[in-house]
Amino acid sequence: MDNKWIYFIQGQATGLIKIGQSAAPGARLDQMQTGSPDRLVILGVLKYSRNLEGELHSKFADSRSHGEWYKPGPELLSFIKEFTYKY
């Protein structure tokens, strides 16, 4: 699991942000883009660590729209800006 990433992918039209994990975030973006009418972009990535994705889902639960998709509130956007790497 050392080569996995936590990614933050945003839909440009909806603004919603997906928090997920993948060994290849670019390939995951391509998969998601195929099924989405919304243009998607990777806002940033974090090195994967056990339980981190779940912790982030809990941390931003108040911003959850549905599933693993979150509204782009100030707390989430600030977190992404401060703690993630550009992909």
pTM beyond cutoff 0.85: yes
Q: Which long-range contacts (CB under 8 A, 24 or more apart) does 84-87 make?
A: 84/8, 84/43, 84/44, 84/45, 84/46, 85/44, 85/45, 85/46, 86/44, 87/5, 87/7, 87/25, 87/26, 87/42, 87/44, 87/45
pLDDT tens by residue, 38-77: 999 999 999 999 899 999 999 999 999 999 999 999 999 9
pLDDT tens by residue, 3-41: 899 999 999 999 999 999 999 999 999 999 999 999 999
